[in-house]
A and B are shown apart, each in its own frame.
Chain A
Amino acid sequence: MKKLSLLLLSLAAVTGLFAAQQDTTRTSIYRSTVSAMVEYSYNKTWGHFANVDVQALMPLNRYVELNVNLQASFKNVYTVGVTLRPKVVLPYGELFFDTEVLYKAVLRSNQMDLVAALSLGYRFDYASVQIGSFARFMESYSRDWHSEETYQVESFNLLYRLEVYCRPQTERWNIGAAFANFDDYQFERMWQPLFELNGRYDPADHWRVHLSAQCKPTGMFHLNAAFYGFTLRAGFTYRF
């Protein structure tokens, strides 16, 4: 399974770089991008740690884009996510249909977590909404763990994301706030929301800088709610 993880990570990296090289019309909003981020995180289970993220976005054509997200965590957790996103431009806004696979190699605890998600979204200048479902498959890497049932399947989980922006997407800077149970590197169970505040600024045509803060509470629904963790993320995007 570790070999499979490395293979998947390598494939995703190659795909991502390939995607990032696909130059589309520079005047179009459909531009390939590559992003690099660093994260500082804390949660009550793993304590303090850092992550490094790489993302690539490639519009395959005007109607479909491919997104590849990679994350390496100093807690010995590695994540790769691939999203194929058909989309339709409407007179006002855009409808998109995400098909995503997210693979997380939790090497620190000899487990893998594979998520397959389908969702429908609509975004326009000031907001984006997305709803769908995902299935989770968890398994242990250790062969000596294996019994007849060494895996877990959670076949249906609700997926949701609501994001609002203070300015239209075409502006050089923007600030947004999001409420969701997933992001580019994790899918949480439906009652485990994530709260995010993010901002971006385009200092030049090809460059964009990002800054975001995400808070993860625990037990917000049906448990004694408390703070669980946070992530601060900073990075940049190069737009081809």
Chain B
Amino acid sequence: MLLVTACNPNYDMPGMFSGSSERADKRLAESLDYDKRVGEIHLTVPENYLVYVATDTHVDSTTHHWSKFVNSYKTDNNCAFAIHLGDLINAKNNFARFFDAAKVTPKGYVPGKDTIFYIVGNHDLYFNQWPEYKSYVGTSTYWFDTRTADGKLLDLYICLDSGEGTLGADGIKWLENTLKDKAELPYRHRIILTHTHMFKQDDSQGHTSNYSMEETYEIAALLTKYGVTEYWSGHDHSREITTYGKVTYIVVDALEDAVDDAFYMIATMSSSIQHKFVKI
């Protein structure tokens, strides 16, 4: 079995024992350096707006579902921006195909409605692909917020690199400091965007790995302490919405072409958050 798996070029077998990409703390340092050069991101949006959320597209030789998602968010006048929660690609040499599909201008495109944020997933790190991912996206850890045209703060989004099953020693501190720094600001919602899910109550727990228990306790406590509203993730490929410590944890379905029941999520951001799951 291992031999057969090892012969499959889509499996990073050595990476199973020691991941080939840079470690989480190194990626964090490089990301924060990039964030500093780029500066803070504040998006001007209406008070009520839509966010399109995709995850686990695992682009390989085709981009059918991913292209449909791109077409959908770029033609929706109410979409403020889109988010991809990680595992953009499946294995080596697919980033170009993925980002080419992301650049397409569909018929009915609404000018200026093509903002998208990316989160790194484990498949984006396999085969030492962090440098390539970085060349396209620049960072794996950052935050941005939304404001109205008159400067009223709306929602805070914190993007975390959990592709390793840990945020890393420095990543945990960065998360706490970021939440602490913004604790007094009157954000309507605080949202965590990351790849790896925190909880999985159904039997598919055996399907995908996530954080160690120590990290689970710690992140859950931090999110509750600083009033995080929701935690959006992918990784497990099957939808689950649970609440723990006043934080809603959402696992969004996979959007990969190989999945028959592929969904993406549309979040309606207002005084509350409504979630709609759209089948491709």
Residues of A at the B interface (CB closer than 8 Å) are 43-47, 106, 108-111, 113, 138, 140, 142, 145, 147-158, 186-192, 216-226, 228-229
| Distance between Cα atoms of A151 and B247 in the complex (Å) | 11
| Distance between Cα atoms of A218 and B15 in the complex (Å) | 12
Q: By CB atoms of chain A within 10 A, which of B21, B24, B224 has the most? A: B224
**Interchain Cβ contacts within 8 Å, total number:** 149
- 23 contacts across the A-B interface (CB closer than 8 A): A44-B166, A44-B172, A45-B215, A111-B217, A145-B245, A149-B244, A150-B244, A150-B245, A152-B201, A154-B200, A191-B210, A216-B212, A219-B163, A221-B209, A222-B122, A222-B208, A223-B19, A224-B122, A224-B164, A225-B15, A225-B17, A228-B165, A229-B212
Q: Do B125 and A224 touch (CB < 8 A)?
A: yes
Q: A192-B209, A219-B122 are in contact. Are A226 and B246 (CB under 8 A)?
A: no
Q: Do A218 and B166 touch (CB < 8 A)?
A: yes
Q: Which of B206-227 contact A (CB under 8 A)?
A: 206, 208-215, 217-218, 220-221, 224
Min distance, Cβ A31 to any Cβ of chain B, angstroms: 33
Cross-interface CB contact of A140 among B122, B125, B245, cutoff 8 Å: B245
B169 is an interface residue with CB less than 8 A from chain A:
yes
Q: By CB atoms of chain B within 10 A, which of A106, A148, A223 has the most? A: A223
Q: Do B126 and A224 touch (CB < 8 A)?
A: yes
Q: Do A223 and B205 touch (CB < 8 A)?
A: no
| Distance between Cα atoms of A152 and B168 in the complex (Å) | 24
Min distance, Cβ A18 to any Cβ of chain B, angstroms: 30
Min distance, Cβ A214 to any Cβ of chain B, angstroms: 13
| Distance between Cα atoms of A84 and B21 in the complex (Å) | 44
Contacts of A138 in B (CB 8 A): 244
Q: Do A221 and B201 touch (CB < 8 A)?
A: no
Contacts of B203 in A (CB 8 A): 155-156
Q: Do A110 and B221 touch (CB < 8 A)?
A: yes
Contacts of A155 in B (CB 8 A): 201-203
As a 0/1 sequence over residues 5 to 20 of chain B, the CB contacts with chain A under 8 angstroms (1 = contact) are 0000000000111111
